[in-house]
Every structure is written in structure tokens, then in C-alpha cells.
Structure 1
Amino acid sequence: MQVHSYLFFEGRCEEAIAFYEKVLGAKRGMLMRYGESPEPCPSGMLPPGSENKIMHGEFTLGDSMVMASDGMVSGKPKFDGFSLSVDFAEVAAAEKAFHALADGGEVNMPLGETFFAKTFGMVKDRFGMNWMVIVPKEMPKG
């Protein structure tokens, strides 16, 4: 079994994927626009001019695939109640990613050492997506 995140950017999907390519090294996969769908969307489902918005997209972060869409193109994404957690091997890489994600966003918890991490912080990016950035410490088992 695999579990994948599916993010709805409500009109900013392609911009978000490009941002994650730049700041996290994401690799873009397939993108299908609403105008490319083999079946038309039901009348009135999307605002006029949404043909070039992303119906379904995929990108990878490390070994993880993330799926994304512009959803109903409402312009109001809601990413409440969850975060994407990204592990790094090196503190410098975590710091670079954290500060890039925070650009235009909001730091919820600054990066710092914790009992479970060499560094850990939480940030909401410019798209409203919540991230936890961590360089984990080796923890005793059991």
C-alpha cells in the first residue's frame, strides 16, 4: 500500500509546482489541464477561462510522489489540519529549504534544536501549505 498527498491549490497549482522545483528540488511529472480532459467538465463547475488550469498534476520530492490540482479554481486554498514533513540529512540543507519556503509565507516555529531533531521548524509557504522541516536525531529504539 502507498499513501499519497493530493493538494488543491485552487488556481495556483502550476506556480506552486514550479516553486517546489526551485526550492526543494521537486521533479515535475505529468500535468493535465482541464482543457485536455477527454470528457468536458460539467457546465458551471469551473469559472470561465479555467481551461489552462491544472486538473491533475504530479511531482516527486525525494522518493515521495505528491499529486496536485487547481481543484475548483476558487482562489482560496485551505491546507488546515495537516503538514507535509520533509527530512534532511544536513542542517545546512534544511535551513536553506526552510528559509526558501518561508519567503512570502509565515514561520510558525523557527528552526532550532529539539530533543528529537538536530533542527526542526514549521512554516506556512506562500500558497498556504504547511511544512515541517527536520533533521532527525538518532533516537533509541523501544
Structure 2
Amino acid sequence: MAQPPDKPVVLLSGGNPQIAKADGDAPVQAYIAAMPGWKSGFGKRLDTLIEKTVPDVQKAVRWNSPFYAAPGKGYFLSTHVFTKYVKVTFFDGKSLDPIPPGGTERSQDVRWLDVYETDPFDESLLTRWIEQAIALPGWTP
């Protein structure tokens, strides 16, 4: 069920917006709009980059996080707000070149990038990762 338009968005621990589980662009845009401070601008830039790189991208909100899928495949990327950064997760990140820096043995193939306010927006690297990620099967919950 989509977030009712008249209901204010609750920010959970770390400032993560609480958005109801739903498919489509609208709940993802509601999440991005509710991201606190500089994080909303980052969310908009990343969402625009994903749309440009994957024109038929499928969007959803799951577990209070935006998820992105390539048509006919599973999810390739999600984001999540934390107090000081935004986590950009690639579900098969271990297959990307270069491998995103976040991850442990416990995270198996999942890798991520923690983006802080002062970090530059590396559009070239993010585009390369997205292009590689959409060529993979993706993650299906």
C-alpha cells in the first residue's frame, strides 16, 4: 500500500524514511523527498542517473528502502539512509569491476558504497557499476 499523501513521513532510526511497501516510482519519490538534508539531493541525483542508465527501470520500496530492478530481472541496487551517510547497495557487487568497497565475508556477494555529505558524486563510476549490475541476474527476495 502506498504512503497516504496527507500523512507525514516518519523518520526512523538514523533518519531513514518510513515508507510503506509498494511498487512503482511514486513510493520511491516519496522516500527520496523525505530523506533528510543533503541526502534528498543525493537520492534525486542517483535516481535520475539510474533512470538515464536503465530507461525501463522498475522501482519499489521494500523494508523502508528504495529498490531498483532491470526489466525481467531481480533487483540490482537499493539505498538506505543512515545518520551520517547513504548506503548504496549492489546485490551482486562482488561481480562488479572495481568491486564497491563495503562488504565482509558475511555479506557474501553483496557490496556497497557509503556516501557521506562531503563525498563527490562520481557519476562515471556509478554509471559503470549500474551498467554492469543490470547485466547480472539480480536479486529476488
TM over 0.5: no
Structure with the bigger percentage of helix: 2
Q: The TM-score by the shorter chain falls in which range?
A: under 0.3
For normalisation by structure 2, the TM-score amounts to 0.26
Greater Cα radius of gyration, structure 1 or 2: 1
Q: Which has the higher strand share?
A: 1
TM-score when scaled to structure 1? Answer: 0.26
